[in-house]
A = this chain, B = another copy of it.
Amino acid sequence: MIFTTKAEYGVRLMVRLGELPGNEPVSLKTVAETERLPLAYLERIVALLRRAGLVESTRGAHGGYKLARPAEEIRMDDVIVALEGAVAPMSCFVDDTAGDRVLCSHLDDSGSGCATKLLWTRVQGGVHRALQQTTLAELVDFQSAPDAVPGAVVV
């Protein structure tokens, strides 16, 4: 049960963008070097963030990327969805974004839903809440000063 490196790298990229004044765009090359990540791969990852409207790009020489919104207003929920697609604990889980209905595809029969449905729903809820209640700004603060952030998981 893991996120892929897309999420890891993408989040680290976002944190980098979030920890500086903010108007000047940062080149991917810079990020790739300081974070020691493969540049070509990062390019594909940042494309996901751009299409999701989380970062903005300026092309040409001295171009780069910057956050589309201030870090305080970016919920990690959105970031992860942009990077990984809808977060679901099981492949048969399709959540229409409304948030309550959950479908289990391997049900050809009628009657009682699969027993695991309840469990996966709760797990998904737990992940969703954790992601939604964390902002990019918190991660930025955490990196510059660990221990300073009340690591406590939301109640």
Contact = CB atoms under 8 A, between A and B. Distances in A.
On chain A, which size bracket covers the interface?
Answer: 35 or more
A8 interface: yes
A57 B131 CA distance: 41
Interface in A72-99: 76, 84, 87-92
A29 interface: no
B116 A139 contact: yes
Given A118-B139, A122-B153, A151-B118, A8 B130 contact: no
A46 interface: no
A125 to B, nearest CB: 4
Which 3 pairs show the lowest CB-CB distances between chains A and B? A126-B126, A126-B130, A115-B143
Given A2-B88, A112-B145, A122-B154, 18 more contacts: A1-B2, A2-B89, A3-B89, A8-B90, A8-B116, A113-B143, A114-B143, A115-B142, A116-B139, A118-B138, A119-B131, A119-B134, A121-B153, A122-B131, A122-B133, A123-B130, A123-B131, A126-B130
Interface of A: 1-3, 7-8, 11-12, 15, 76, 84, 87-92, 112-123, 125-131, 133-134, 138-140, 142-146, 149, 151, 153-155
